[in-house]
Structure 1
Amino acid sequence: MTILPFFAAVVVLQFFSSLTVAEIKSLTISNDSRPIILLEKFGIIEIGHVTVSVSSVSVSSPSSSPVPDSSKLGFLVLSEESLPEVLLELQQNFSFCVLDSHYILHFFTFIDLSPPPRSQFNKSYLITSPSDYSLFFANCVPETRVSMKVRAEIYHNLDPNGSNSKDYLLAGSTQLPGLYLVFSLCYLSFLCFWFCFCWNNKQIAKRIHLLMTVLLLVKSLTLICAAVYKHYVKVTGTAHGWNIVFYIFQFISVVLLFTVIVLIGNGWSFLKLKRHGKEKKLLMIVVPLQVLANIASIVIGETGPYTQDWVIWNQIFLLADITCCFVIVFAMVWSMCCLRETSKTDGKAVKNLAKLPVFRKFYVLVIGYLFFTRIVVVVVKMKADFRYQWLSNASEEIATLAFYSLMFYMFRPMEKSEYFDVDNEEETAELSSRNKSLGSETI
């Protein structure tokens, strides 16, 4: 089995994965026979340090095979510019070992390991050329399985003469703490304004407005946790537990957002559980899909491309998220079609058709938001230079804030609203019919 298909697959994976935050990571590789393993992907602007420590190394091969050559197993750093040259070498010679390439930054091989039973090694490498780099482990001995514990520490040296000058958020990510802090302040200001507006119009505010207020609060807390999380990673290399808090609020925020979109998009302004069975069924589809997508997102964020199931979890995340978006869009289109059809038969053509312009605007808004955050942001992340990877995060947050602002403006509490006035009349008519039926039963 040659290394070329595996190396090509890893190269393709790099285009779909963002730069790692380069925090201090401890990895465990167990009984792995892959010829090439991508451990970290990172960018260096000026001076960077890469430290790799391995311990508890174990190499096993079939009894019929010779003793594995230790020089054919080791770690390497490869720059983005050298990648095509290495691929060309592999194409010209399928049995070529990437550790023998002249285009790699040779780290160390298993020859440098201390004798058993400890079998450990520690080495640092200074990188001075600005580029996008990848840290690999290569196994050029077929049918050989490797088990080991790896500790990778990658950071920028901001001040060569300073003692506390390490920046673990490398090129393209070091701006994230400030970025998330700015947007958290924007959402907190938005929350205060929305709360005051709803309080001043509490006589006409609906339950959906309360749910929208909770959504703003959770979104603000999510961004605050993201800012603190990235700050600790930037300064110390570890999250100090803030990653867990961030994932919790992120999960609640995403589920709340899709719930609000479903409820508004299907005309469920009062949360009337008995009237609208279709919305309950829709939520039973959307919410589990978002739970699955968030679980996959956590696995992707907390592990890395070195795990064998990492690609599968990426596929699960994409599939669940895209399916959820498709279900929401389909349900909104279906609601508009049903509204248009019922307006011709129930004698309320004018009243029902009054909803269509609002639903059409909201439908276009949701489609635009989903398209931008699921496609445009990914394209920006793939095409942007490694120094400007933070632009994809900024564009996503700007689009989300704009979507929130337009959605909240369209469905704010108002005396005269095309959306809520029709629902109020329908609610009044239903209550009147119920009272009449109860009165007839009593007689």
Structure 2
Amino acid sequence: MKGSIDHVECAVLKNLCMTLATLALMTSVAQGDSDDGLILPKGFQAKVVYEGEGPARHLAVRDNGDIYVTTQLRPHSAYDPELVRGILALRDTDQDGRIDVVESFTDILGTGIRFYEGALYVSDQAGIYRFRFQGDELVPSGPRETIVDGFVPEGQHGDKTFAFDKRGRMYVNVGAPSNSCQQEDRTPGSPGLDPCPFREHAAGIWVFDARRTNQKPSDGVHYATGIRHAVAIDWSPSGNALFVVVHGRDQLDSLWPEFFTAEDNAETVSEEMHLIKKGKDYGWPYTYFDARRRMRMISPEYGGDGKTPAPRGKYQDPIVAFPAHWAPGDLLFYSGTAFPRKYRGGAFIAFHGSWNRAPLPQAGYNITFVPFKRQKVSGRWEIFVDNFTLGHIEDNHPAKARYRPIGLATDKAGALYVMDSLHGRIWRVTYGLG
């Protein structure tokens, strides 16, 4: 919470940090005013607006308050796949703060979802599509239009999340279909492919015309490279720039036990937040950013041993280095005015929570806030919403967590919406009287 301690310092002074964090929690948060025991800074409250019907991914809020949700099939879900119904359209008709109309449309099992120029844009692993509305209708009556199609689903990291700038450009995250570009993926001791061929068509950001239909991946401009997977992507209106939070690589200890321990795996590889600049290289798969050393290191697949730094200046360093394996699921720059001034122009990040820290406890499972002044981080990051897991995950298995935050959106009034991936539950976060 407020005044939280930098995670790198916490790795060195764990007991002290835990004590200080507990004291901060006791003095600066409000729990009783929020549903599900969620913990937020004083003055904020989170109320459930939708109970959920199954696995969900991201959400967007129309200017009239209607909510749209992308759904997916997940192998660890306890729900019947028949309950997942493409895009959900949600409406609160009596304005009591709870959804009372739920409809669905299209057969897209989606990932990204955003409004742009009044139309709803939705992505799956193969492309990005647009739906137009007539008047105040809940389900769009216009046909599905293809904006970009032809991405090849390659298994892991297939989500095609996206963001828009002010000039009609759409920035698409194309994740790497690999953990670390090994000759044999996720195989102990397998060296890295050099050069890594995935960087030619994935592991980066591509730019397309947001208004043009029927584009192919080859129509896009390769904007930035070396980005393993940036599900969390957003354009900052106040900073007039693109930002991402990147999933760091997995399995240091199981793939390279001669160099790394289980604790190294759990604590070392940062989830990196970057300001994206055209033509820059962000380091994957040749490097990773070490949270404890605060420096970029050579990956073991390319000759690293946990002690070898990367060449200075060749790759971009993060503007914020978050703890390992927290799994950034969404990024939202707050442009409303309903929250106190410190939050305006700042970034909220949904950390979905780790799977890859065992036997150490899993971590993440929170909404984090980073203060910004235009393009610059203006203070330390802090956990904004916590207690999604009630402090315990059965069998240390993420699929058994109570909730896993994944989606973020705001409405016209400036409220923040947070969605869980396991059940599709949605909370509306407000300040003061809301």
Same fold judged by TM-score > 0.5?
no
State the structure with more CA Rg. 1
**TM-score where L is the length of structure 2:** 0.23
More strand by percentage? 2
